Chains A and B, each alone.
Chain A
Amino acid sequence: MKESAATDIRGIGVSPGVAIGKAHLLEQGQVAIPFYKLRNGAAVVAEVERFERAVAEVEKDLEAIKQKFHPELIEHAHILEAHQLILRDPQIYDQTIGLIRDQRLNAQWALKQALIKVHDLFKTVEDDYLRARVKDVDDVGQRVLRSLAGFPNGIIQEIRERVIIVARDLSPADTAQLQLERTLGLVIDMGGRTSHTSIIARSLNIPAVVATEKASRVIRSGDLVIIDGASGKVIVNPTEAQLSYYYEVQDALENYLKQIRRQAHLPARTLDGHTVRVEANIELLEEVVASRDNGAESIGLYRTEFFLLNRDHLPSEETLYNEYRELAELMAPRSVNLRTLDLGAEKMTRWAPRLDQANPALGLRAIRLCLHHKDLFKTQLRAILRAGAAAGNIRLLFPLISGVGELLQAKAVLNEVREELRSRRIPFDERMKVGIMIEVPSAVAVADLLAPEVDFFSIGTNDLIQYSLAIDRGNEHVAYLYEPLHPAVLRFIRQTVEVAHRARLPVTVCGEMAGEPLYVPILLGLKVDSMSMNPQAIPRVKNLICRSRLEDCRHFVDTILGMRTAQEIGFLLRTMVLRNFPEEFKFFDPDALTPKEIFSKA
């Protein structure tokens, strides 16, 4: 094998798994669009006919693709029906013919003008919602332009071997034409987690990396390529060593995931018999099924703000009540922690006056915002309390509590609502448990004063890290300082747990830290009672808990709490997990195992 230097390309991993194989590059440059005026009436008639033929051809192509659709993906064929309708839409079809006739434009230029007008129709470019829709129009336009230019639209010719498809972009029609049974993996320059191709790749378990920007220019057909659909890494012309490493990883990963998924429904009990609760963080009712399938024992965090975003009007109390009640009933008898709105003022624009805040993270957000917009807060509390009456499994969680005063204010509003419901004889859960998020350093400092006022604590590590270390994670200049293993963060967690346990309160950790397998030994050693994470992370975290000894983790945490920097702690932690859980961690390139890398994966 040739020993030319391997090239690494980074993208976003959208469908996990490792694929190794030869690249097949799809050539699909933009079609040049000529401009000319038609000389006479006869030329106009001929040009209109040429356009109609091109449209008819594309229509036939789309129909043919639809018929050959991969049987597992038949519901995705609807998108091609949409493309057929767009193709004949008067604003494209009639408009183009009109331009050819009235302005004697050639078909390509006329079509391009019509497409530009359609773009205007969708106006706001910065809006993701509409941008995704314009993409469908452009896909259709491109096909007609290619046909007019005499290019075949069947861009994906017979592929005779199993390959990794590399492309600048893939339209749904392109994806449909892929011979998926011969596709080992996908590398695409454009796209994101929710683009059509990513969704299909995930549903078929084809490893995929998107948003690589340059892959289609760097990789040539026939190059040997490794893609890691979890980390988003693409290695072109790998070395012998990389190759054998990834073959091993690929094999082991498949067996391993199969095995741990089978055990994910069992409780997470350490080797020395301590049980830790593993829960799911969700944003939508629809995620409940995935949570249960992955082995979630309860919902540790329901982020209620998501249901309110993207709305022009505040939903009514009834709408909220129905949503919460359905969620509670789906999970009963298992508990559901409903966190009240964790909105920033900047997200309230649609139904509240916009506030310009120089520093929104330190501004009017979460509980502060709710106390400010008391009607909104009370509406949500009423809906939550009422929904709790159904199965008695809802627990209330206040975000961003910074001290006792603020908590008492929130509880006063809660009591007002209870009183109102009582006097109106509306049933609600009288004994609903109330907890708070511990995510502001001041709350850690006064945790002993907060404890008597609540039933449980939930540590939000994302904000706790950000506020403790004074780091805005979104700020690229300081993002490297975002260190979950900073001794201050670990001390804060320990302090919170100790205070809570003295007051006989359970503690959950629900930030990204909880869903990252690397941190499992630390959170166990810090004696947290439960961990709540994105549903997909549950099988791996549960597996690690089951293979750990609580006593060992406690000793380990005692050791690292004596260390001075996140780097020292990180090094010791990585050495420890690689030694104790080799199967778990060989799925990651050990060289890539820096805390920062791991975070970008989570």
Chain B
Amino acid sequence: MAVTVPELSDILEQEFTVTNKLGIHARVAAQIVKVAGSFDAEVWLSRGNSCVNGKNILDLMTLRCPFGSSVRICARGRDAKEVLRALADLFRSKFGEA
């Protein structure tokens, strides 16, 4: 069976909504960094005109994403698909908060 392997230059992206009340604060940013950091793919989060590295906590904390805002996450690399899936789970769980 033929398996399609994405090109390294392929960028996958997905839109997420921040559904926890306090937005992406330090604790949430740390969880994103931990998940993103466990994959090889590059991970970028963007909102409006700002785009930050998903593996850098300070960068993430400066991205203004309050409750209800939507964030675009781009991933590039051999496990880009997996990292997006893992991040989707994390967003869906509201980072374990209300």
Asked whether, in the complex, the Cβ of A79 is within 8 Å of the Cβ of B26, the reply is yes
Asked whether, in the complex, the Cβ of B98 is within 8 Å of the Cβ of A130, the reply is no
Interface string of B10-38 (1 = CB under 8 A from A): 00000000000111011101110110000
Asked whether, in the complex, the Cβ of B34 is within 8 Å of the Cβ of A129, the reply is no
Interface string of A305-319 (1 = CB under 8 A from B): 001001110010000
Q: A121-B62, A136-B26 are in contact. Are A82 and B68 (CB under 8 A)?
A: no
Residue B86 is within 8 A (CB to CB) of chain A in the complex: no
Interface string of B71-98 (1 = CB under 8 A from A): 0000000000000000000000000111
Asked whether, in the complex, the Cβ of A89 is within 8 Å of the Cβ of B64, the reply is no
The residues of A that contact B27 with a CB separation of less than 8 Å are 78-79, 81-82
Asked whether, in the complex, the Cβ of B57 is within 8 Å of the Cβ of A312, the reply is no
Q: A78-B30, A82-B27 are in contact. Are A89 and B69 (CB under 8 A)?
A: no
A85 to B66, CA, bound (A): 21
Of residues 48 through 68 on chain B, the ones whose CB sits less than 8 Å from some CB of chain A are 48, 56-58, 61-62, 64, 66-68
Residue A33 is within 8 A (CB to CB) of chain B in the complex: no
The residues of A that contact B66 with a CB separation of less than 8 Å are 129, 310-311
- Nearest-neighbor residue (CB-CB) of B61 within chain A: A133
Select one of A86, A127, A286, A307 contacting B26, CB under 8 A.
Answer: A86
Of residues 470 through 513 on chain A, the ones whose CB sits less than 8 Å from some CB of chain B are none
A278 to B34, CA, bound (A): 45
A136 to B27, CA, bound (A): 10
Interface residues on B, range: 20 to 34
A136 to B58, CA, bound (A): 10
Residue A92 is within 8 A (CB to CB) of chain B in the complex: yes
Select one of B22, B48, B96 contacting A75, CB under 8 A.
Answer: B96
Select one of B34, B57, B69, B97 contacting A86, CB under 8 A.
Answer: B57
Q: A75-B96, A82-B27 are in contact. Are A130 and B67 (CB under 8 A)?
A: no
Q: A83-B26, A133-B26, A311-B69 are in contact. Are A286 and B21 (CB under 8 A)?
A: yes
Residue A180 is within 8 A (CB to CB) of chain B in the complex: no
Asked whether, in the complex, the Cβ of B56 is within 8 Å of the Cβ of A82, the reply is no
A307 to B66, CA, bound (A): 11
- Nearest-neighbor residue (CB-CB) of B56 within chain A: A89
Asked whether, in the complex, the Cβ of A82 is within 8 Å of the Cβ of B29, the reply is yes
Asked whether, in the complex, the Cβ of B25 is within 8 Å of the Cβ of A132, the reply is yes
A129 to B47, CA, bound (A): 16
Residue A91 is within 8 A (CB to CB) of chain B in the complex: yes
Within the complex, what minimum Cβ distance (angstroms) separates A451 from chain B? Answer: 37
Asked whether, in the complex, the Cβ of B67 is within 8 Å of the Cβ of A82, the reply is no
- Other A-B pairs beyond A90-B56, A133-B61, A286-B98, 10, CB < 8 Å: A81-B27, A82-B27, A82-B57, A85-B33, A122-B62, A127-B64, A132-B25, A133-B25, A310-B23, A312-B69
Top 5 nearest A-B pairs by Cβ distance?
A: A82-B30, A82-B26, A310-B66, A136-B26, A85-B57
